[in-house]
Structure 1
Amino acid sequence: MRSIASRHMAPVAFKFWLTLALVAGMSSVHAAQVVHMATSYTNSAAVLSDGTLWTWGDNESGQLGNGSTVSADRPVQIGSSFAQIAVGRPYMVGLKTDGTLWMWGSVQLRNQTLNETRPVQVGSGFAHLMNSDTARKTDGSIWYWGHAKRLFDASAGGDTLDRLPPGYLQMVNDTAKNVLFVLGDGAIQSLHVHLNPSDMYPGWKGGYGSAGPVDRGFVQVALGSRSAAGVKEDGTLWQWKDSEVPVLVDGGYRQVAKGAVHTLALKADGTAWAWGDNVWGQLGNATLTGSETPQSLGAGYSQVAAAGGHSLALTTDGTLLAWGNNNAGQLGVGPVGQKQLSPQPVVFAGADAPGLGAMVATGTLTRLTLSAHVQIKPEHLASGAKGNPYLVAITPDGTMYTYTVPAFDRLNPANPLAWADRLQNTSSLLFVNQDMTHLSGTAFFIGYGLGATTAESLGEMLNSYRYKRVYDIQ
């Protein structure tokens, strides 16, 4: 437990203490565990045990859902009350605990193309989000969107989504070209969409369902750019290329994931395995050496995911690990472009401090607009306790700035923090279309404390973890 700052603390010591408290606290605040995660080529996302949704990676189409097109190499919180998340290209899909389905980014719906930088509800009555292209309703019907709209003339639909024909249980897209289906009896069927304009209809490339018992009983499939894999209800794992007959890998599996040219698989005993190409370190073996056979990543895993040249895995204690290619920040461990050859933990800074407000960024680094507000809980306002909101910026060299309407000022140790009263439950513009290149790497924190003096309220904020890191200038 941090001690509350003394009003008699020496000015320089106060500044040093505050910097350490904020920065050190970033890694200790995320007691909330990851319960579900997903990834695609340039983006990743996770749902925490408190229902908050966090996204990171490329944001050119607004697929992070944070109201901007500014990318993030570390997780940013965008919503709450979520149960599942799926990541498409370039969009995301979230299922909330009340059965509503939400989407953001750029995605083709039934009669429109959705282009949104914040989550928009597109349906209700859903029970399970199967992947980034399909979801199952409580009545058992399967609904689809996105690239899959090229594959069917929908026989039934709603206002925004289309319904898969009877007999189709799951659909997996790698790109707009290749699709896998799981049929009602666990058979699998693959489809290749021709890109030649003269080809009016997609062409089927093998219906494994008619090949015999080896090709039935699949409960989950994954598709890469050169191969596919599937787990059957008996726990056997099979893989194949194009229209080849599936070949048995081994038994005891419960999930498989495919990157472009590598595979991750999870066994029922909690061990994770990886094989394939390793040019980006996506096998997680601390080398760039590939393997044609499964290599162990150890035990204690509950979920795996892969895309492109990177991998994610969730441990049984709720820790999310990421490794491999990080060209768009999709690992969530920063910095962009630095590949990771072994699993690295993803930190959700401020995950136990929801509802504290937000910072919204729009534009590019050279023309950046920032606004922020600090949300003080109604019970704290109603109790008559003074709520002192703070907005603090820390540059890479440790220099601290605090917000005093209407500008940021370097922290004055003699007068440590001025109240940013205009940030209390209302948004204030901080910068408008400014070149922020010189502040690249600066981290912003918001929060509020309760107390009669500066030192008391600031110390109470830190002791109660009532603050969070809301934005990093990239």
Structure 2
Amino acid sequence: MSRRPFLTRLTAPLASMLLVASATAGVLTTTVVPASAAVSAGGFVGVTPNRLLDTRTVGQTPCLLTARNLTVTGGATTVPVGASAVALNVTVVSPTLPGYVTVYPTGADRPTASNVNYVAGQVVPNGVFVKVGDAGQITLFASGGCPDVIVDVLGYFDGTTPVEPGGFVGVTPKRLVDTRSPGEGPCLGTPRNLTVTGGTTTVPVGASAVALNVTVVSPTLPGYVTVYPAGAARPTASNVNYSAGQVVPNNVTVKVGDAGQITLFASGGCPNVIVDVVGYYEGGSPVLEGGFVGLTPKRLVDTRNVGEGPCVSALRDLTVTGGSTTVPVGANAVALNITVVSPSIPGYLTAFPTGATRPTASTLNYVAGQVVPNGTVVKVGDAGAISLFASGGCPHVIVDVVGYYEGTVALPGDPTNLEVWGSNDFGQLGDPSVPASAASPLRVGTSTGWTSVSTSGSFDLEQSHTCGIRSGALYCWGINDYGQLGNGTLDPSETPTQVGVGTTWQSVVAGGTSTCAIKTDTTLWCWGDNSYGQLGDGTGSQTESPVQIELSDVDANIGLGWTAVDVSQTHACAVRTTGSALWCWGDNSFGQLGDGTYDSYYSPTRIAGSAAWANTSTGWFHSCSLKSNSTVFCIGDASAGQLGNGSDFTPEPPLYVRATPSGDTTFDWTAVTSGAYHSCARRSTGTIWCWGDGYLGQIGTGVFTYSGRPVQADAGTNWATLDAGDSHNCAIKTTGTLWCWGDGADYKTGVDTIDGVATPTQVGSVSTWSKVSAGYRNTCAIRTDTSLWCWGANDQGQLGTPSHRSGPGASPVFTDAADVAGSHATSCTIRISGSLWCSGSNLTGGLGDASGLDSNVPVQVGADVDWATVTAGGFIGVFGDPVAFACATKDSGTLWCWGDNSSGQLGDGTLFQSDAPSQVGSATDWSSVSAGSNFVCGIQGSGDLSCWGAGSLGQLGGGGTTSASTPSAVAGGPWASVSAGNTQACAVKTAGTLWCWGNNANNQLGDGTITQRNSPTQVGVATDWVAVSAGGAASCGIRSAGSLWCWGDNSSGAVGDGTVTSRSTPVQIGSGNTWQQVAVTGYAEFTSDAHSCAIRTDESLWCWGGNASGQLGDGTTTQRTSPTEVVSATAWGYITVSDTYSMGLRG
């Protein structure tokens, strides 16, 4: 079978002539090979179950009184014309007499075999594999009783011939044994081997597995039959479960065992057994996409067992691939035996792919008390799982796996596993397990015991961190530029890191860039940024470890008695038991400390006349505090009405004002919390009231405006607790449900939107929340089981789940990748099927799916399956937003681009952004294309080179500095390969000479100067260059002997010669001659992120340069100035790098 050989693993450096590693997108220059069929010949394609017939339905009647033909291909069947066979679920309903149904290919003679045996009044399901007959039809025959029949399609088998290994060959059903017939008995009292290949079986010797219909007849006792490969140990799984006197059919797929035989075992009751063969699977190897691999049956779940229940009362997901399932990750579909046991009322069970809409089809129907088995095939859904749905009766369910159908695979030796590592701040890794943000709660680790959590941040400094207390120990995570994590360093952490070793912490508050916490002995400790004196230790000096806050000349217990504390970006306030006094310190530029002055303090100052305070809360430049008489007083900045007294005038001199709803003099406040420019409070009635800035919805009244006085945020009277973040709020009801409102940026409201939410909106459906903390860009909350969950931004690790990966992941993003490319904020992958998928930022249309929506999982670009190569470019715009575009070639040799077009880089003659692929001209011979930050270069079949897009630095190579919105010729060919960097390009001629042009401010052209070159300039005099990668400020190339050479800016170590000294001409990296591919960072927002990676002929991968996001893949974030091997991985076939992440294909 011809398949897409996206990259033949290079076995000699000379072969690198066929490959160019673009600075931003590994682009292939191999001969384009047309895409083949989506599956191998005879392979299985699973579909979400689809109902083809229900004779009870008007227009589909009558019952099956005579033979009936049913169309199973074409039209709305979901099965293409030309399929060789279909996988069905056939259910017989309410026959008036005993009998059987036979399903067979239309046009064939009706066989003596049966598929569904029944008695009067029964509902009997069975899985049926049947060869497609004349005109795409099958025939249904009932022997009597005029049963109604339901037919659901589960998938189909490819009709291409000759059938490849693992492919299915349907046959007209043939009876192999009926133990009731003379000479074929006796009943199944002991295990029995049955020959299923060769002779008159219709199955050839060498078949790997057979598809059977096995019917149990008249057992004397309850029990089960297991069918398994002869010679294998008998598994614990079962195929047909029965009770005394029953007639029970089931579809059984079984791997062929020793001597072409299978073994039949009955647990008791000596049942008679009928076995009909309906098809077989070709033997041989390798088994390709859609091919079947038989297994010794393995039990996946039995809900009757302890730890595997309960019964299926609603929807339940079941993992069917990976782990101990014996089915590999990536399988297309699984062959299962599903048995329902003892439902309490009649109903049906549907098995379908997880993530798909539940279909109207059923897998098996049951009545109360029945044991009903059914062999079925289910397409594998999201996360390698299937979903089980029971309509009623809470049945127990047994699921055994008997085999699987291969997912998309490549020819042996092709590297197809897409591995990603580094930063995922825009979702560009395509792996949601490394979240840049989370729109719904994401659990922090697996531990319980969390009792307190606080998350905050700093708008002006873009700092975010979180702290929590677990079993008395204090943990912090996130950014740590000011020591706010308290771990004695300035190193950030994306997972909870313990603060010291103590286990006596009671409460914690994360401020903007500092943190304060109280221990059980009532001592107060602070750490982090102290620029405004907000630590209260009297020094104004930053500290990376907790320091105790002590008072002098007050009483003997100068360090004790603290009960509550709150910290903002620049100031803090706390309540002490002695006299319930309020103390504040830090910045006082708006009088927010409450002492009536504008004087700032580096140590706590007691607020005069401040007895009987119960709690306090600090906003950016205001403070609100609750007195023990249930009144709320606020002080400081009033510009947004955040003092709650009806005015936006800041009192001078500063004085406390009472927050009072209009016309309401009832003082029954029980809690107060302050955001940046707003505050909220709870009353004894259980209502919530907010005031101040509301232009992002944080007031909660349904409108986006401010309020100078407290207004009720929601009509509810059952609010238990609340917390205000900078610009959003979250609260928990007495029912345990969690609700958020306000600014939706970074998804911090827990609602799948980044827009403002103007009324309290429930976060998910969980009703076990107990505590919540709303921060600057994220939110964290604790459930009643003491587990901790966070959501919102994660670019600094503030969710406690890594936002970057420091090495290849535990499982690849794709296992069928053919080509891959990455830019600063997006990445794209072509799969072996020829489909194209992208993930990351979609702000400028860089994902090409016309949705305009960002995605942290790959989304398909259109429906075409003839994509050949892909390249991606982009940069960060002047306002900090990601700008992205991409280009790809098709099997036809045409070139298509999409995304940002502000410099004409889409080549379509306009400057208009395109959210979907748009063809570049009409040429059909593009062989090599490479995208820079905002320009593109490509080679056509004749060796002609063209560039287009931004040209102000000479990067188009035409001799000038003018931009071009259509391809512009570069003289001097014929050219063999090209690589576009950030603002320069390099190319190799067919003669083996290397030429570069464009920006040269950092020696990146390798000509010994820093002079910009507007047309190609030769690099040295060598004539044996075979590959080049033009980076941002550095470049690398490989010569025919396999030596690696690099040049340009080396401040990040991206040159790789063991120094940080820049090189104006190529220098050899090491002394080895075993390099075969190299990739260098193109655009880098920060030069320190630039890095390089290269593959040796032994298929090992080596990286060097910047590593702050783990982009070198060595398991650390340490910069490397010479090649360092990527951890725990070999068999690399291709590598591409962006600035903060890397992507590679591995076998």
TM-score normalised by length of structure 1: 0.50
Judge conservation of contact 1:224–1:260 (CA < 8 Å) in 2.
yes
Is the CA contact (8 Å cut-off) linking 2:696 and 2:704 kept in structure 1? yes
Q: Secondary structure at the match of 1:177?
A: coil
What residue number does 2:723 align with?
A: 305
2:689 maps to 1:273: yes
- State the Cα deviation string for residues 333-360 of structure 1 (Å, max 9, x = none): 5999765544564467998599xxxxx9
Quote the offset at 1:279 in angstroms. 1.6
Matched residue SS, 2:1115: strand
Cα distance change of structure 1 residues 221 and 3 upon mapping to structure 2, 3 Å threshold: closer
2-structure distance, mates of 1:56, 1:335? 24
Q: 1:266 deviation in Å?
A: 1.3
Aligned residue type for 1:304 = L
8 Å CA contact 1:221–1:231 kept in 2: the answer is yes
Q: Residues of 1 paired with 2:443 and 2:1115: CA distance?
A: 27
Distance 2:486 2:780 in 1: 19
Q: How far does residue 88 in structure 1 lie from its aligned partner after superposition?
A: 2.5
Equivalence for 1:170: 582
- Map of 2:742 onto structure 1: 324
Stretches of structure 2 lacking an aligned partner (at least 5 in a row) = 1-316, 334-379, 387-430, 551-556, 635-644, 661-665, 764-778, 790-794, 798-802, 814-838, 840-855, 860-1092, 1094-1112, 1121-1136
Residue 122, structure 1, aligned to residue 551, structure 2: no
Quick one: distance in 1 between partners of 2:659 and 2:570? 32
Cα deviation, residue 16, structure 1: 5.5
Is 1:18 aligned to 2:383, yes or no?
yes
Deviates most, 258-267 or 345-354: 345-354
Answer yes or no: is 1:77 the counterpart of 2:496. Answer: yes
CA distance in 2, matches of 1:92, 1:330: 24
Deviations 1:95-143 (A, max 9, x none): 4567776655323544572343xxx343499xxxxxxxxxx98843799
Give 1:387-426 correspondences, 5 Å limit: 391-392=810-811, 396-398=856-858
**Aligned residues of 1:284 and 1:324 also touching (Cα < 8 A):** yes
Match of 1:157 in 2: none
Shift of 1:226: 7.2
Kindly provide the CA deviation profile for residues 17-46 of structure 1, in whole angstroms up to 9, marking residues without a partner as x: 536799699858579676454646554646
Residue 295 of structure 1 pairs with residue 614 of structure 2: no
The change in CA–CA distance for 1:312 and 1:439 in structure 2 (over 3 A counts) is farther
CA contact under 8 A between 2:484 and 2:529: conserved in structure 1?
A: yes
1:113 aligned partner: 541
2:626–2:669 Cα contact (<8 Å) kept: yes
Give the secondary structure class of the aligned counterpart of 1:18. helix
1:352-391 superposed Cα distances (whole Å, 9 cap, x missing partner): 599xxxxx989xxxxx996589xxxxxxxxxxxxxxxx84
* Equivalence for 1:264: 680
Residue type of the partner of 1:12?
Answer: A
Measured in 2, the distance between the counterparts of 1:54 and 1:99 equals: 19
Question: Structure 1: which amino acid aligns with 2:528?
Answer: G
Task: State whether residues 35 and 318 of structure 1, in contact with CA within 8 Å, keep that contact through their aligned partners in structure 2.
Answer: no
Q: Are positions 1:246 and 2:657 aligned together?
A: yes
Within 5 Å, give how 1:51-70 maps onto structure 2. 60-63=481-484
Contact 1:278 1:290 (8 Å CA) reproduced: yes
Give 3-state SS (helix, strand or coil) of 2:731's partner.
strand
- Post-superposition shift, 1:257? 2.1
Alignment-derived partner of residue 615 in structure 2: 220
The residue correspondences of 1:128-143 to structure 2 (distance < 5 A) are 139-140=560-561
Asked if 1 retains the 8 angstrom alpha-carbon contact of 2:625 and 2:632, the reply is yes
Q: Which whole-Å CA distance do the structure 1 matches of 2:580 and 2:721 have between them?
A: 24
| Distance change >3 Å, CA 339–CA 16, structure 1 → 2 | same
Structure 1 partner of 2:517? 94
Asked if structure 1 preserves the Cα contact closer than 8 Å seen for 2:744 and 2:753, the reply is: yes
CA positional deviation for 1:253: 1.0
C-alpha deviation, 1:287, in angstroms: 3.1
Aligned counterpart, 2:595? 190
Q: Does the CA contact (< 8 Å) of 2:596 and 2:655 recur in 1?
A: no
Give the counterpart letter for 2:700 in structure 1: G
Report deviation, 1:90.
1.4
CA spacing shift, 1:299–1:12, aligned 2, 3 Å: farther
8 Å contact kept, 2:744–2:757: yes
Aligned-pair CA distance for 1:7: 0.7
**Of 1115, 1119, 1127, which residue of structure 2 is paired with 1:429?**
1115
In the TM superposition, what is the alpha-carbon distance from 1:289 to its structure 2 partner? 2.4
Question: Following the alignment from structure 1 to structure 2, what is the Cα–Cα distance between the partners of residues 111 and 227?
Answer: 23
Structure 1 residue 167: Cα displacement: 7.0
Q: State the distance in 2 between where 1:106 and 1:170 align.
A: 22
CA apart distance, 1:251: 1.9
Q: Deviations over 1:226-271 (max 9, x none)?
A: 7654433232334555345634623221111233432200123433
Q: 1:235 aligns with which of 598, 623, 630?
A: 630
Q: Using a 3 Å threshold, how does the CA distance of structure 1 residues 174 and 430 change in structure 2: closer, same or farther?
A: closer
Q: Name the SS for the 2:542 alignment partner.
A: strand
Distance 1:255 1:93, change over 3 A: same
Secondary structure of residue in 2 paired with 1:170: strand
Answer yes or no: is 1:8 the counterpart of 2:8: no
Q: Which amino acid aligns with 1:113?
A: S
Aligned mates of 2:740, 2:1115 — CA distance in 1? 35
Q: CA distance change for structure 1 residues 287 and 54 in 2, over 3 Å: closer, same or farther?
A: farther
Q: Distance in 2 between matches of 1:3 and 1:167?
A: 60
Distance in 1, Cα, partners of 2:781 & 2:658: 40
Q: Is the 2:441–2:750 Cα contact (8 Å) retained in structure 1?
A: no
Which TM-score applies when normalising by structure 2?
0.24
What percentage of aligned pairs have identical amino acids? 17
Residue 179 to residue 372, structure 1, CA distance change in 2 (3 Å): farther
The CA deviation string for residues 426-446 of structure 1, in whole angstroms up to 9 with x for no partner, is x96256559765759x9xxxx
Which secondary structure state, in structure 1, belongs to the residue aligned with residue 700 of structure 2?
coil
8 A Cα contact 2:698 2:728, kept in partner: yes
- Pick 1 or 2: higher relative contact order, CA cutoff 8 A, min separation 6: 1
Say whether the 8 Å CA contact 2:518–2:524 is kept in structure 1.
yes
Given that 1:142 and 1:169 are in contact with CA atoms closer than 8 Å, whether structure 2 keeps it comes out as: no
Aligned length: 344
Structure 1 residues 336 and 137: CA distance shift in structure 2, 3 A: farther
CA distance in 1, matches of 2:747, 2:482: 15
- Aligned amino acid, residue 220 of structure 1: N
